[in-house]
Amino acid sequence: MVHFFGEAHLMTTHDASRTPLSPTPRTTLTRSKERGRTDRAELDAVLDAGLVCHLGVLLGGSPVVLPTVYGRAGDTLYLHGSTGAGNMRAAIGTDISVAVTHVDGLVYARSAMHFSMNFRSAVIRGRAKLVTDEAERDNALRVIVEHAAPGSWDRVRPPSRKEMAATMVLALDLTEASVKVRAGGPKDDADDIATGGVWAGVLPLHQVWGEPITSADLEPGVDVPADVTARVTPSPVTVG
């Protein structure tokens, strides 16, 4: 069995202030304790660096996990989707789980048992609240758009009444949230290290933004916004 992410994330916090995370009875870390993180700032960093979370709910008596766009405002995580989405409707007022994971590299070991991944991950558990206040709904959608595409909300047309009516917004408090991180090289057995002859190390994985591709139906004279071009990952400099 290859150990990648191991046991579920189990370090949590009792409140959403900038205090250290602490365990609750149902979320006590039992394995890989050294991977647990206790700083609330690390939770924010994992969430803020992500683009898609995975929302787990019970739908028709069976669990389902679906990718979902999100945004964080302080101590609240906002999720949105169509009012016709079954998983969103099923999440209202029920306990849900939200996970965000970043893979930073594949860890090659000398034995199959010790292959792993370097990662940063967070899991939030709690009861989803349907956002009905119009001001909060508007702000939540702004937060979600700005999380994925910073600088865009004020530049584009805001949602119409019809679009807002077709959109559901859920709020999830960050009171119970976990952070787990693995970094570094392989943890090979001493006998395998001594035997030698097998490469071991880390193959890093990096996410990059490419050059913007202008829509084919865009009228002439409209430039790519600076907030878009600023996100493009510079190409590595090659020495000839």
% pLDDT > 90, the chain: 73
Domains of the chain: which residue ranges? 25-229
SS3 48: helix
> May I ask the CATH architecture of the domain 25-229?
Roll (2.30)
- Per-residue confidence (pLDDT) for residue 30, from 0 to 100: 64
Who has greater pLDDT, 15 or 137?
A: 137
pLDDT in tens, 208-238: 999 999 999 999 999 999 999 999 998 876 6
| Cα end-to-end span (Å), the chain | 45
